[in-house]
Structure 1
């Protein structure tokens, strides 16, 4: 990245920060009771209101007497603190001589002085020059640039420390507000004069501490702003020096000597490490082995620092060499192996160091010179790891500077491959830092974004593999190399098996012990026995249907409940049937296993049906039989062979018709679930009977009337 790009990037970043701060300011003003952000603006000709400091009632201070402090200027705050201190000293003389109240009053005195101390420190910080040891000489060589870069990097570390301190202070400010609310509630609920006085002093102390924290925060923000501005200017000067680098033979010779010296030191450290690794500890005490392990870790850290220091000098030497007048293009010193190996080694040593620290704490008590001796060894190793991390950052900065100089000296295209690799590696490192961020833990195993991404990848891969497998099986069916039903069953079994394997792998990646799944299965069986009995029954029934194959996809079935249609899918819980009305019905699998099911296409799709009909008395039976046979032949689903022939039976003599049956064999595979067989045959019978003049009967009733004689007259007694 060139100097111009860095300046433009800085300007854009600052503009975005200013815009965000203005937006946040407006939002806060709206949230705080509709306060206008321009409420304190002074209109032309309008006189500014005179500032009057608020002095609380120390016997019962209000909750918000100090709320105007952040809006006051520095001079107004000094005047306010002075008046507050005088009023407090006058009121304190009237305070009872009780030990508890006097201790609280002394704490308030200290808090008031703490605000003045914060102001004094802020004034001292403003007098201290920032980056005072940084020099940016003209006509620099590679060594002077490295010295300036190291000084600026120390400033970066100082800024980073201030940023951490600012975050901690923000947390302290939030906790202070919580403490204020608690003290307000305590003062309101206090009963009795003594408790009220103590609660009032505690609230006043919390309020003054809040003012001190506000002052510390503003002072720290001023320091951050000043450091950021100085570092931005220093970055610009470093870019200027990098663009104006001059070749220096003296610098090259010094770097060569340093590299040779570092190579010798690395060889010596490697020999010491080899000798220590091959040495056998004579004592069986655990402390002797721990001492050897710590010595090996210290040698590893020293070797790592040596390699990184050597790489820094190699990068500087390469950059200085390309500045000279050379005929051939020099290769860049770019290799990601060292940095990646260094990070891996640092992480491994850090984990081992934590284990050793817990081991020592378990051996020894928390006091004593022996524990201090071990802890000093731990601190030396930890300090070496911190220096190694800083050296890794230095190597990365030197690589970026080398790329910039090579691009300017050898051309843009000469370094496009190296620059692409560098920035891709930078992007990969940033992603790895984000991916390794711990979100939560499961069974004491940290769960990171990387693990979640791997789990999602495994599950999606299992689903895709299952889908591709089923597509392959369907392709075999389309090419008529396998039966549809067998491939359907195989696809279902493979689908459930692949998904189950994917889930087990995902659980193992989460850190769960898969050997303990038996316990989970036992607990699950209890739940199945109570609340999931119906679901489990349907699941087992689905497996029975898939393996036993009493029903297959495409079969024409009729259930005991009256559902009639073709099977479209056999799933784990239910089976989908499409009826004559093109309605999909999901039937639980247990109904197929426990109930009676008529499968019209189980083994032989040819079946016989009986179509009843009637004709009028007086019709010729031979003509009726011939017409019915012709009607059956017109229906395309009629099946005839030498074994199965169409027949017409005279069944009975009805009250008003001759009752016949058309007994016909049909191929169920040719029957559409959207039609009715009897309707097809009845329609053809109607057409054929009309052509041949065969009449259909109508209901008839014969009434027979009989005549009878007139009844004799009834004689009554008494002559009537």
Structure 2
């Protein structure tokens, strides 16, 4: 036992020694790295900061680029040197008014840098959370007071972030201005005064750019400091929330505040009802405007009181959950109030904007009436801002309530409420993101929400069209409805639904529906000039669908020689599949203006003439029987009491008897890839071979005639 203890002690000592040794080694390494960083190579001098003073009569475009990397003390030395060099140079400038004005701009830019330093030195003393206390073991009222202070600090932080973004925009604009002034200096010519004015203008812009850089750096530094204070305040709020205690005094005070808000709500509600009951519109627009603004102010004040009452109810719920004597607690969660409040804020803001435009349209901006109207606008806008802040407060209070309930009643007791709360937070964040303006069309903002709605409308229209066409297809298969009629109806409904969806999309994008006539007029002009063929094909497609001279499945032959079955009749063209299984897209105008042979328009039974020949000496009756037997074996042959297969002897040829097999066929039974003539020729050849009937081939007989005539042979070997 003693051995084990001694061994453990030795191990502990060794581990402690190892930790101490590692600490010493890391310290030495850190010190060595610091010394190495500050050390210089033997024989070299440390680099010293040297301020750059430009040539004022010809400043370079990049003399100031090291300003951002310099320390604050180095910047002060640099600015002092610039001030001294500039005063010396300015004293030598000629007495020219334009030149002195540019020189004053340079002096003002130099002073602006020092003013920025002084202003932001005072800003550093400002705290984002002034006089905020975070007591130990607080009650809900103390926590609410601290939470309100942190919320105000968060608002200040947001305003500072907005200022930083504005300075960033100014900085980018300043860079653009710098480039323009550099180009102006290069193109200023050789005139001394003109070139000096351009040089001083560039110098003033460069110094002003340095001032903007200093403002950006100071704001960034202040922003980081305030962010740390707000994060620290939020951590203290979380700590206070964990240390909350029940307070009977808080119950009484919160109850009094709730009763006060209820009375105020009743008073505002009765006043609103009284104002609404007066429906008589005055002939004076000022009186109507005043009445509407008063009603808007009542609505916003009523909303603010409802939200403040809900805050107190949440505090009361949190306090009751901390009471050890109560076993049953009721959560205060109502999604409808927040949704209604947000919708009311949005609608009131839009209406307020409309009223402001109306007032500006009929009132002089410098008149007393404008000040009176603007007082109304400021009150309503301020109430809307308070309502927005109260909504954020209620969201935080609900989260605090759920946390307190979970700690005192268990994790499962608030699963449903917490899920709803998180879903509401996600919806609020999506709402803020969805309402971000991407761009605008006709002064109407286009946001992610609008784009999502447009996509939804198009998808719903496409789904509805697909479902309708599927339903029509089932009617064809189950109810034995006309396939062509259902196809035409489906096409027309599809185009109609898509057209309606496009009109809805245009309205959502901000296009006034009353202006669609202008769009239609412009479209007609475009059709008349550049879209005539497309529009004519479109109209021809509609004529084919309604008039039904052609239907899907018809066997057609065009004037251009295209032969095949119709597969689709679309808006611009019709798809035909030939016997070679080649799909040909034929413009619809060719079916309307050209000659089209439809082999299956009303009756699919048609007659074809299959020519064939046999040798002289063949029995005509035997030939007729063989051809009739061959025709009966072809599956597409159609016969009835009126339509019978016939064999005609057409002519006596040079070397054959020319016949025609006149047969009726069902065109619907003809495969798109088959040729009916080939089918009958094959069966005729097979039947003729079986019966011994010969098919002739071309023959020529050569007859030679001789006569007695003297032949003379000349001496050159030629015959005469």
The answer on 1:54 being equivalent to 2:34 is: no
Offset at residue 432 of structure 1 (A): 2.3
Instruction: Judge conservation of contact 2:281–2:288 (CA < 8 Å) in 1.
Output: no
Q: Which residue of 1 aligns with 2:531?
A: 532
Q: Which residue of 2 aligns with 1:234?
A: 233
Instruction: Judge conservation of contact 1:652–1:659 (CA < 8 Å) in 2.
Output: yes
Any idea what the Cα deviations from partners look like across 1:123-174, whole Å, max 9, x if unmatched?
A: 3333445523111111111111111111111211111111111111111212
User: How does 1:77-476 map onto structure 2 within 5 Å?
Assistant: 77-190=75-188, 191-278=190-277, 285-476=284-475
Instruction: Judge conservation of contact 1:281–1:289 (CA < 8 Å) in 2.
Output: no
Query: In 2 relative to 1, CA 129–367 (structure 1 residues): closer, same or farther, beyond 3 Å?
Result: closer
Q: Normalization by structure 2: what TM-score?
A: 0.87
Query: In 2 relative to 1, CA 523–267 (structure 1 residues): closer, same or farther, beyond 3 Å?
Result: closer
Q: Which residue of 2 aligns with 1:678?
A: 677
Q: Secondary structure at the match of 1:367?
A: coil
Any idea what the Cα deviations from partners look like across 1:659-704, whole Å, max 9, x if unmatched?
A: 2222222222222231222222222222222222222324333444
Query: In 2 relative to 1, CA 581–128 (structure 1 residues): closer, same or farther, beyond 3 Å?
Result: closer
CA distance in structure 2 between the partners assigned to 1:357 and 1:137 by the alignment: 46
Q: Secondary structure at the match of 2:649?
A: strand
Query: In 2 relative to 1, CA 562–255 (structure 1 residues): closer, same or farther, beyond 3 Å?
Result: same
CA distance in structure 2 between the partners assigned to 1:297 and 1:490 by the alignment: 51
Q: Which residue of 2 aligns with 1:34?
A: none
Q: How many residues align?
A: 673
Query: In 2 relative to 1, CA 700–144 (structure 1 residues): closer, same or farther, beyond 3 Å?
Result: closer
Which range moved further: 439-448 or 146-155?
Answer: 439-448
Query: In 2 relative to 1, CA 106–410 (structure 1 residues): closer, same or farther, beyond 3 Å?
Result: same
Q: Which residue of 1 aligns with 2:492?
A: 493
Query: In 2 relative to 1, CA 428–518 (structure 1 residues): closer, same or farther, beyond 3 Å?
Result: same
CA distance in structure 2 between the partners assigned to 1:622 and 1:686 by the alignment: 17
Query: In 2 relative to 1, CA 618–322 (structure 1 residues): closer, same or farther, beyond 3 Å?
Result: same
Offset at residue 436 of structure 1 (A): 3.0
Mark the runs of 5 or more structure 2 residues left unpaired by the alignment. Answer: 1-35, 713-720
Query: In 2 relative to 1, CA 518–599 (structure 1 residues): closer, same or farther, beyond 3 Å?
Result: same
Q: Which residue of 1 aligns with 2:32?
A: none
Which range moved further: 311-320 or 617-626?
Answer: 617-626
Q: Secondary structure at the match of 1:174?
A: helix
Q: CA RMSD in A?
A: 2.7
CA distance in structure 2 between the partners assigned to 1:362 and 1:626 by the alignment: 99
Q: Which residue of 1 aligns with 2:15?
A: none
Which range moved further: 530-539 or 42-51?
Answer: 42-51
Q: Which residue of 1 aligns with 2:641?
A: 642
The answer on 1:605 being equivalent to 2:604 is: yes
Any idea what the Cα deviations from partners look like across 1:556-593, whole Å, max 9, x if unmatched?
A: 22222222222212222222221111111122222222
Q: Secondary structure at the match of 1:613?
A: strand
Instruction: Judge conservation of contact 1:141–1:248 (CA < 8 Å) in 2.
Output: yes
CA distance in structure 2 between the partners assigned to 1:78 and 1:620 by the alignment: 127
CA distance in structure 2 between the partners assigned to 1:364 and 1:652 by the alignment: 103
Offset at residue 547 of structure 1 (A): 2.3
Instruction: Judge conservation of contact 1:42–1:48 (CA < 8 Å) in 2.
Output: no
Which range moved further: 318-327 or 660-669?
Answer: 660-669
Any idea what the Cα deviations from partners look like across 1:435-490, whole Å, max 9, x if unmatched?
A: 33344444444443333333332222222222111112222222361132222222
Query: In 2 relative to 1, CA 418–103 (structure 1 residues): closer, same or farther, beyond 3 Å?
Result: same
CA distance in structure 1 between the partners assigned to 2:99 and 2:525 by the alignment: 64
Instruction: Judge conservation of contact 2:631–2:680 (CA < 8 Å) in 1.
Output: yes
Which range moved further: 415-424 or 661-670?
Answer: 661-670
Q: Secondary structure at the match of 2:337?
A: helix
Query: In 2 relative to 1, CA 54–656 (structure 1 residues): closer, same or farther, beyond 3 Å?
Result: same
CA distance in structure 1 between the partners assigned to 2:662 and 2:205 by the alignment: 102
Q: Secondary structure at the match of 1:229?
A: helix
Q: Secondary structure at the match of 2:138?
A: coil
Instruction: Judge conservation of contact 1:462–1:499 (CA < 8 Å) in 2.
Output: yes
CA distance in structure 2 between the partners assigned to 1:406 and 1:84 by the alignment: 65
Q: Which residue of 2 aligns with 1:502?
A: 501
Query: In 2 relative to 1, CA 652–423 (structure 1 residues): closer, same or farther, beyond 3 Å?
Result: same
Any idea what the Cα deviations from partners look like across 1:397-451, whole Å, max 9, x if unmatched?
A: 1111111111111111111111111111122222223333344444444443333
Q: Secondary structure at the match of 2:665?
A: strand
Offset at residue 515 of structure 1 (A): 4.5
CA distance in structure 2 between the partners assigned to 1:706 and 1:369 by the alignment: 132
User: How does 1:662-677 map onto structure 2 within 5 Å?
Assistant: 662-677=661-676
Instruction: Judge conservation of contact 1:555–1:602 (CA < 8 Å) in 2.
Output: yes
Which range moved further: 162-171 or 534-543?
Answer: 534-543
Instruction: Judge conservation of contact 1:580–1:675 (CA < 8 Å) in 2.
Output: yes
Query: In 2 relative to 1, CA 599–351 (structure 1 residues): closer, same or farther, beyond 3 Å?
Result: closer
CA distance in structure 1 between the partners assigned to 2:602 and 2:358 by the alignment: 74
Instruction: Judge conservation of contact 1:556–1:567 (CA < 8 Å) in 2.
Output: yes
Q: Secondary structure at the match of 2:55?
A: coil
CA distance in structure 2 between the partners assigned to 1:372 and 1:111 by the alignment: 37
Instruction: Judge conservation of contact 1:308–1:388 (CA < 8 Å) in 2.
Output: yes
CA distance in structure 1 between the partners assigned to 2:609 and 2:66 by the alignment: 100
Query: In 2 relative to 1, CA 689–50 (structure 1 residues): closer, same or farther, beyond 3 Å?
Result: same
CA distance in structure 2 between the partners assigned to 1:146 and 1:709 by the alignment: 145
Q: Which residue of 2 aligns with 1:569?
A: 568
Offset at residue 283 of structure 1 (A): 7.7
Instruction: Judge conservation of contact 1:281–1:288 (CA < 8 Å) in 2.
Output: no
Q: Which residue of 2 aligns with 1:717?
A: none
Q: Secondary structure at the match of 1:650?
A: strand
Q: Which residue of 2 aligns with 1:67?
A: 65
Any idea what the Cα deviations from partners look like across 1:522-561, whole Å, max 9, x if unmatched?
A: 4433433343333333223222322222222222222222
Q: Which residue of 1 aligns with 2:9?
A: none
Offset at residue 279 of structure 1 (A): 5.8
CA distance in structure 1 between the partners assigned to 2:302 and 2:538 by the alignment: 62
Any idea what the Cα deviations from partners look like across 1:604-660, whole Å, max 9, x if unmatched?
A: 322222222222223333333332232222222222333333233333322222222
Any idea what the Cα deviations from partners look like across 1:163-215, whole Å, max 9, x if unmatched?
A: 11111111121222222222222222334222222222222222222222111
CA distance in structure 1 between the partners assigned to 2:419 and 2:141 by the alignment: 27
User: How does 1:574-589 map onto structure 2 within 5 Å?
Assistant: 574-589=573-588
Instruction: Judge conservation of contact 2:99–2:193 (CA < 8 Å) in 1.
Output: no
User: How does 1:16-27 map onto structure 2 within 5 Å?
Assistant: none
CA distance in structure 2 between the partners assigned to 1:671 and 1:285 by the alignment: 83
CA distance in structure 1 between the partners assigned to 2:648 and 2:369 by the alignment: 112
Query: In 2 relative to 1, CA 121–538 (structure 1 residues): closer, same or farther, beyond 3 Å?
Result: closer
Query: In 2 relative to 1, CA 514–165 (structure 1 residues): closer, same or farther, beyond 3 Å?
Result: closer
Query: In 2 relative to 1, CA 702–506 (structure 1 residues): closer, same or farther, beyond 3 Å?
Result: same
CA distance in structure 1 between the partners assigned to 2:287 and 2:648 by the alignment: 107
Any idea what the Cα deviations from partners look like across 1:501-539, whole Å, max 9, x if unmatched?
A: 323333343443445444444443343334333333322
CA distance in structure 1 between the partners assigned to 2:46 and 2:246 by the alignment: 62
Mark the runs of 5 or more structure 1 residues left unpaired by the alignment. Answer: 1-40, 714-720
Query: In 2 relative to 1, CA 642–510 (structure 1 residues): closer, same or farther, beyond 3 Å?
Result: same
